[in-house]
Structure 1
Amino acid sequence: MVNRFFRYVLTAGLMLAGACLFAPAYAAPAIDVSSARLGQHTDKTRFVLEMSAAPQYDVFLLAEPYRIVIDLPELNWRADEDAGRKKGLVENYRFGLFKKDTSRVVLDVGGPVKILRTVILPPSSGKPYRFFIDIQKTDEASFRKELAARRSQQKNTQVAIVAPEPPVNSRKYTIVVDAGHGGIDPGAIGKSGVYEKKITLGVAKRMHDILSKNKKYNVIMTRNDDTFLSLRERVAVGRHAGADLFVSIHADSISRPDFRGSTVYTLSENASDDEAAELAKSENKSDLIAGVDMSVQDDTVQGILIDLAQRETMNFSVKFAEMIIPEISKSGMKTRGRSHRFAGFRVLKAPDVPSVLVELGYLSNREDEKILKSGTGQQRLAQAIVNAIDRYFKTVDP
């Protein structure tokens, strides 16, 4: 499909850093969080977690926007999720699984802060273990100095991304199915409160099951549980596997509840319309939401040779995109006018892997949400995309 010489040059010497995608065989039992609260003091803001055990933890700062990230062992979050999340210097906080055996809490702060102290108190007076962090306003120069020190440490501790080896049998097509969002990043939230990350994983698993029955396909999922993956890691899975096709599954939400229907997106630095541009901007914020340091994320692609390869790849992506919508329309899900659109989605930027992003429907629309939540609806949508994949490989031979 893409010239083998391009693929060789693109792959050679490119080291992608990030978290290992595979967990150790043994995992410690999760720690229960019974309470989470914020306190405003005269000279500081305090964030407190009440926990069933004393945790190992890592705390660091991020900029653009200003955030405090707390990495902890895997947590069972039993605290009141409706408790106030804004007080003092903290404007909001969120939590969730970041990767295997690691939960993450991200505190959004309105400006430069410094961490005064982090403490674990043992059980006393009927209280369980308490982890707390005190923060205080600081100047920009001091904040940047702390940030630079942390990044210097990170450069010495990065781990190469691990992805499955491509199949030995070159006649087999490798397909990467990417369930959008996950873990600490829930994605869009439906009218009923359902999370996009749950819908996308459900459809992705069904696609995997159907595709795996066909011996000509080697199927890889970027995630098969409620785990966060950065956009860069998702792209890396496809590239390391030598994928012939990358399909990213999503379900959008919009301020207009009357909007419904499926749309397929391919990569272009110039968006097809304002809605596509806005969606790409929203989807590209996934790493920011999860507390990923964007400043150390190198560009995946550089140079004229890669640009030439990417143009060829984009042509194949467009061919596949145009096959998906007719199949989805047969599944019972409405499709929109101008159902193939394009914008600068970071998850589609592998220069040598044809890639599409499928927005299955709008969780902000009750009819779409009903289809997306149902097992029957998910199965029909999965089968529709698989039908398009079958058509694609009958037309295009890598």
Structure 2
Amino acid sequence: MLRLFNLILLIVGTFMCAAAPSAAKDVQIDGLRFGVNGETTRFVLDISNETEPGIFLLADPYRVVIDLPEANWHANSAVQTTGLVEGYRHGLFAPGVYRIVLDLKEAATVKTAFSLPPRGQYGHRFVLDLEPATRSNFLAAVQSSKNERPVVTSASVPDVTAPRKRIAGKRIVVIDPGHGGPDPGNLGAIGVYEKVVVLEIARAIRDELNRTGRYEVHMTRDRDIFHPVRERFRIARRHRADLFISVHADSIANSKVSGASVYNLSETASDKEAGRLAARENKSDVIAGVNLDEADDDVSSILIDLAQRETMNFSAQYANILVQELARDVPMLGRSHRFANLGVLKAPDVPSILLEAGYLTNKTNARFINSDSGRKKIAQAVRRATDRYFQQMVALGR
């Protein structure tokens, strides 16, 4: 079936990717503040030097996106919003692009945007004024701001149609730390964002697998940067991965709930909680200010659906093994092997699972997965499961 899938790829082709230009981190963001004057809401950014941000609007939900050159953030992220702005997020969206996303309480458009030179106690400032708008006016502004959106693509890696080149016969594993950049993920009981916790867990897993000498390990990100959901599994495909592991940490209103769980792809959620998680994780692109109208599938074919069924079987096999290995040393959630329609797991030719390492909303669980000892136990469980899984693949002649 995988040979058939490779033949399909040769016929229909795959997406193109180009390296994004990078910019030096010569912009320092030192502060921000919000103010209201009548119906106008003002957003002020204190920056180290004058710059011309890219500004565009996105609908459903209403958002204003501000893209700066790659920058260092030194501002207080706890500044309270007011007026038309409900909340904000920020982070490295792509090499060379630092993104700030303003979530709006209602439809609003940019009244004016300008830079101010240093004066008195203030240095360089960027000022953005927002005013209320009707939905139709907002949607018109979305269209007119399209040309301000940066063209952001990922760095080039080998074409998936090229012959697979292994390093001394090593299996290829891609580890995906969830969230990143302007998409922070959950903020748990210990005050550390999910994007930080899962990056450290992913690094521990990478190091544990590398120590065996049996695997070629890649990570979708090794710093605080954002990748769209589809780009994450595309990275795995371009590396021609044998296994894709996406690492996350869950959150729930009930702070008593704790424990790890493992998900693999299914169009039907295994339970209400799995459906809730899928709905939240699939909104990652919205949170980071991605224009969802431009999202597309790599390929579309009933034959690819057939290939994906085989991949889903292998994914479920690995997930089952991983649950067994985690249960030896890691606190587990009841019914810890689950199924959900998670966009990050939709590579049709790469067995893929999502590991929810634990619950950040449970203080004890959060401390465990954010500790050196907890990360080590999780990483060792992943290594044992990966060894067992590929031993079974060898027995099947794969």
| RMSD of aligned residue pairs (Cα, Å) | 2.3
Question: What residue in structure 1 maps to residue 254 of structure 2?
Answer: 256
Letter in 1 for 2:387: D
Q: Write the mapping of 1:41-52 to structure 2, written as runs, cut at 5 A.
A: 41-52=37-48
Contact 2:31 / 2:75 at 8 angstroms: preserved in 1? yes
How far has the Cα of 1:256 moved from its partner?
1.1
CA, structure 1 residues 97+210, in 2 after alignment: closer, same or farther (shift >3 Å)? same
Map 1:1-398; keep pairs closer than 5 Å: 2-10=1-9, 12-16=11-15, 20=19, 24=22, 27-85=23-81, 87-151=82-146, 157=151, 159=153, 162-164=156-158, 167-169=164-166, 171-331=169-329, 333-397=330-394, 398=398
Aligned 8 A contact 1:239 1:353 in 2? yes
SS of the aligned residue for 1:377 comes to: helix
Q: CA 1:395/1:64 → structure 2, altered by over 3 Å: closer, same or farther?
A: same
Percent of aligned pairs sharing the same letter? 42
**More divergent stretch after superposition (75-84 vs 131-140):** 75-84
**SS across alignment from 1:9:** helix
How does the TM-score come out when normalised to structure 1? 0.91
- Whole-Å Cα distance in 2 between the matches of residues 308 and 276 of structure 1? 24
Deviations along 1:122-169, one digit per CA (max 9) or x if unpaired, are 1012210010111222233333233234447769x5646523567513
- Identify if the C-alpha distance between structure 1 residues 373 and 153 changes in structure 2 by more than 3 Å, giving closer, same or farther: closer
Q: Secondary structure at the match of 1:38?
A: strand
Q: 1:315 to 1:11 in 2, by over 3 A?
A: farther
Alpha carbons of 1:12 and 1:63: their partners in 2 closer, same or farther (altered >3 Å)?
Answer: farther
Cα distance between partner residues in 1 of 2:129 and 2:245: 43
Instruction: Write the deviation string for residues 357-380 of structure 1: whole angstroms up to 9, x where unpaired.
Output: 000111111221121111111011
Measure how far apart 1:383 and its partner are: 1.2
User: Number of aligned pairs?
Assistant: 391
Q: State the Cα distance separating 1:300 from its structure 2 match.
A: 4.1
Q: 1:366 to 1:142 in 2, by over 3 A?
A: closer
The worse-fitting range, judged by mean Cα deviation, of 256-265 and 315-324 is 256-265
Counterpart code for 1:145 = A
Structure 2 unaligned spans of 5+: none
Task: Check 1:18–1:296 CA distance in 2 against 1; reply closer, same or farther (3 A cut).
Answer: farther
User: Structure 1's 83 and 149: CA in aligned 2 closer, same or farther, altered over 3 A?
Assistant: closer
Letter in 1 for 2:157: A
Amino acid at match of 2:76: D
Q: Which amino acid aligns with 2:2?
A: N
Task: Write the letter of the residue equivalent to 1:177.
Answer: I
Conservation of the 8 A alpha-carbon contact between 1:17 and 1:161: no
Determine the C-alpha separation between the residues in 1 that align with 2:197 and 2:110: 38
Q: What secondary structure sits across from 1:330 in the alignment?
A: coil
